[in-house]
Amino acid sequence: MRGALLLSALEVLENAVYPTAEFLGVLLTTSKGDYRALRRFSPSARVTLAETLREFLKERERFYKLLHRMERDGLVEKTEDERWKLTKRGKTKWRNLLKRFDHALPVASYRMKPGAEILILSFDIPERERRKRDWLRSVLTRLNFTLLHQSTWIGKGILPRTFIKDLREINLLSHVAIFSINKRGTISQFTG
């Protein structure tokens, strides 16, 4: 997501003050950041030394561009002893990014497992949570569900557990009802 790298950099400086080289090292090895180049340095990767060095230099250049941009925007400043620290503006930006990432919706890349089970999914999501409703509609479309009536969808197969888990995490599970149809009836045309 856009801003993830900036969030990682601000997060690193939120808890400590670092000289440039140390800040680079911490950001390169952070588990939350986009800088994962050092993890690719394992012998099993079968990468030549030149490729490894090129990758590292590219990541380092990206780091310095980010650092320059953060300094230009007033998010960080150098102390008298040449260490980087967050400014008040940087702390505010960090908090705002944290809030934005807390409200981010999961990536809708689920795969419906094949199965003979017919599912009906109905939802009643309040208007104030329109983003979540739109997200759910796009997920259902990608899972090959068909709109039956207003907020009622029908599909065939087994829903992925990650989808149910994500519904719970974004507080939609209480607004969604999922029914399984075991006997054929008026919807037999759907089953073929």
Q: Side-chain half-sphere of 130: how many Cα atoms within 13 Å?
A: 2
On the 0-12 / 13-18 / 19+ scale of CB atoms within 10 A, 105 is: middle
Domain 113-191 in CATH 3.30.70: yes
Structure confidence by residue, pLDDT tens digits, 126-177: 888 888 888 899 889 888 899 988 889 999 988 989 999 989 988 899 999 9
> Domain map of the chain by residue range?
4-102, 113-191
pTM of the model: 0.49
Structure confidence by residue, pLDDT tens digits, 56-97: 888 888 888 988 999 999 999 998 988 988 999 998 988 888
Fold of 4-102: Arc Repressor Mutant, subunit A (1.10.10)
Coil/strand/helix, residue 20: helix
Which helix (H) or strand (E) is 14 found in, with range?
A: helix 4-15
Residue in the block written with tokens 């650092």: 67
Q: Do the domains at 4-102 and 113-191 have one common CATH topology?
A: no
